Structure 1
Amino acid sequence: MTSLPPGSCCYQGVKHQGEATGSYSKLNDFEIYTNYPADKSTEYGVLIITDVIGHRFINAQLIADQFAANGYFVMMPDLFYEDVVPLNNRPAGFDIHEWLKGAYNEEKKSHLPPVVDPIVEACITEMRTKYGVKKIGAVGYCFGGKYVVRYLKPGKIDAGYTAHPSFIDAEELKAIEGPLSISAAEIDHIFPAEKRHESEVILKDLGFPYQINLYSGVEHGFAVRGNPEKRTVQYAKESAFLQAVQWFKEHL
């Protein structure tokens, strides 16, 4: 694997302050959050594939709104059918690996590729058909990084960005067919230095444009759940977002 399975750092962090400006609607049997740029254009789109806290997390919504403010139509789906992991408030005995298997929801619906892939596929199709998006950039935070990599192919995702990704298989990374940008944390037990270096070797051999930025003094999750009162963390969060914006400006 080029990144390790998720752990407790995937659902810990700081809730940010702000008011979301997007809206909710239904796509098939799941909810989506969408927002438009000021000119209502949908030529260029960003699909946000969230961490395990999900699409109703205000931090994720504020990020989605920022992409809209930078000129992109944004779609962010509920990947988990409301079975999200609460921020800093997991139940006693909670095991994220069991959660991935669907152990904690009534339908025992997993949060693995057989369930998540159709959601991502439906969003891509909806963006390209209903909304007429010509170029799609995908953003994946933690859990979502795996699905950016899985769909970085012609006709699916045109350019990818991920921050502190988790449980990406090496074979998945080797199968990408487009440009990929990564924001990495200096302190990250899921995407540590050896996995980052392994990813760099794979990306170099593939020959597609790639970028790996390492942010000092921050931990896994900083790009979404970092503490804005810590200047080092806030700087890294802002820079990681600008990294994604500049990547898409170049490659979409």
Structure 2
Amino acid sequence: MSCPKCVEGYELPGEPKGSIQAEFQGAYFTAFQSQDASSSGSNTSKRAVVLLTDGFGLPLKNCKVIADKLSTSLECDVWIPDYFQGRPLIPLNAMSGPDKASQKMSILDWIKFIFINGIPSIPAFISSRPSVVDARLASFFALLKEKKPHYEKIGAVGYCYGGSAVIRLASTSSIHSVVVCHPGQFSMKEVRQMKVPSSWACPEEAIFAARKDKPEFVEYEFKDYPGTQHGFAARPNLAYPEIVEAHEKALEQTISWFKKTLVVG
């Protein structure tokens, strides 16, 4: 967790329509069924999106609600791997909401964050440190490749902790495009190693602009959402229309980017 905003948020309306898949390491799966699918219900989706959650993991239904919306809008399968293996970084009952949409973080906020959420979460962070998470994701993508060989293109979208993981994932051969939403901690070295098109729902543009005329250049876009804070794309404050609007626009950004970069024959 990079700041106190990591534990703030609200539940999105709606109920998940997908299911947990035990054979895929407990991942959540929401399927797209094309109109020409056979009566047996076989899936013909040629592309898929993998959603990497924030620190609340699968227990917070927001990620599932978003996955369902992505599946419908993109007409493809969407997966949410349980890359915390049943032990999210933040317990669902620890989620809190700020009094105001523009609430600033005071020294007292940081102290509370460290002692109430930071220190108790250390064991979970150790068990799901980046190197461990990356190995789990490699295993998941290998399983996906084995069990779902019909996927021609795979995209990944990550929020907060998942946003950091997506940045690292973008340097591998597992995916073809990424969307990064208000990521947690990451290094400029990791950004330089990204080799697939990326769309960012946060301002971190300079390093990509420097690569524009170089051989290693990859397509990218950045969209800034003024008046928002860390977590808005995954856990928006529903009491403020402008925050909800920013959340919806970030989701539209994700959908538009994958429609553009996950084109299959």
TM range (shorter): 0.7 to 0.9
* Distance change >3 Å, CA 42–CA 56, structure 1 → 2: farther
Q: 1:171 aligns with which of 172, 189, 207?
A: 189
Query: How many angstroms apart in 2 are the aligned matches of 1:23 and 1:199?
Result: 39
Query: How many angstroms apart in 1 are the aligned matches of 2:173 and 2:114?
Result: 43
1:76 aligns with 2:98: no
Q: Superposition pairs for residues 1-252 of structure 1, below 5 Å?
A: 6-27=2-23, 30-39=25-34, 40-70=43-73, 71-84=75-88, 85-87=90-92, 89=94, 93-96=115-118, 99=121, 101=122, 103=123, 110-132=127-149, 133-153=151-171, 155-184=173-202, 196-201=204-209, 204=212, 206-252=216-262
Query: How many angstroms apart in 2 are the aligned matches of 1:61 and 1:131?
Result: 20
- Native 8 Å contact 1:12 1:87 kept in 2: no
Report the aligned-residue RMSD. 2.4
Q: TM-score, normalised by structure 2?
A: 0.79
* Distance change >3 Å, CA 62–CA 243, structure 1 → 2: same
| Displacement of 1:88 | 6.2
| Displacement of 1:52 | 0.2
Structure 1 unaligned blocks of 5 or more: 185-192
SS of the residue corresponding to residue 228 of structure 2 reads: strand
- Native 8 Å contact 1:161 1:181 kept in 2: yes
Per-residue CA deviation, residues 174-228 of structure 1 (Å, 9 max, x unaligned), is 10111010002xxxxxxxx6xx244444664652100110011111100010023
| Displacement of 1:122 | 2.0
Structure 2 unaligned blocks of 5 or more: 35-42, 96-112
Aligned length: 232
SS of the residue corresponding to residue 148 of structure 1 reads: helix
* Distance change >3 Å, CA 202–CA 157, structure 1 → 2: farther
| Displacement of 1:155 | 2.9
| Displacement of 1:27 | 4.4
- Native 8 Å contact 2:205 2:222 kept in 1: no
Structure 1 or 2, whichever has the larger Rg, is 2
Instruction: After the TM superposition, list the runs of 4 or more consecutive aligned residues in structure 1 that deviate by more than 6 angstroms.
Output: none
Query: How many angstroms apart in 2 are the aligned matches of 1:202 and 1:178?
Result: 16
